[in-house]
Amino acid sequence: MKIEAWMKHPVVSVKPRDSLLAARQLMEEHRFNQLPVVLDGEVVGIVTDRDLRDAFPSVLDVLRRRPARPSSTDPARIPVEDVMSRNVVSLAPGARVVDAALLMRRERIGAIPVLQRGRLVGILTRSDVLDAFAELAGAADATS
């Protein structure tokens, strides 16, 4: 099974200078846990829901803050590039789903950007891998 059959495309992404708030809103709207960070068509990072949770101020921080004082922890003012992971693991569309699963397990990541000639053409998530294996298991059961 090839990745291209299971990857999501087109890919929702953010730019390095987009705010954490904008990234969080996209994740909530589309129910994603990861967003590739793209600049001029090239993947320069990936931001996860965990990156955003760690970067957002807690309720206690907000309650302690004086309303008139601007905050340097305002998610609308912090760019994605400040919290994204820059070492992005990627695969080509022709790679095997099983190789993606092994890579995700080894690297402890939930998604792999799919690149063709250096350009983002899809994203393969842990859910996509599970769907692929579930279909394969179902096909195997049907022939048994």
Crossing angle of the two packed helices 97-107 and 126-143, in degrees rounded to 10: 130
Q: What pLDDT is recorded for position 58?
A: 61
Q: What is the Cα–Cα distance from 15 to 41, expressed in whole angstroms?
A: 10
φ, ψ (nearest 5 deg) of residue 65 = -75, 140
Question: What does pTM read for this prediction?
Answer: 0.84
Q: What pLDDT is recorded for position 59?
A: 56
Q: What is the pLDDT of residues 56-87, one digit of tens each?
A: 766 555 556 655 444 567 888 899 999 999 99
**Number of Cβ within a 10 Å radius of residue 132:** 21
pLDDT over 90 at 108, yes or no: yes
Q: What is the pLDDT of residues 8-44, one digit of tens each?
A: 999 999 999 999 999 999 999 999 999 999 999 899 9
| Burial classification of residue 55, based on how many CB atoms lie within 10 Å of its CB (0-12 exposed, 13-18 middle, 19 or more buried) | middle
Q: What is the Cα–Cα distance from 30 to 9, expressed in whole angstroms?
A: 13
Q: What is the Cα–Cα distance from 33 to 58, expressed in whole angstroms?
A: 19
User: If you average pLDDT over every residue of the chain, what do you get?
Assistant: 89
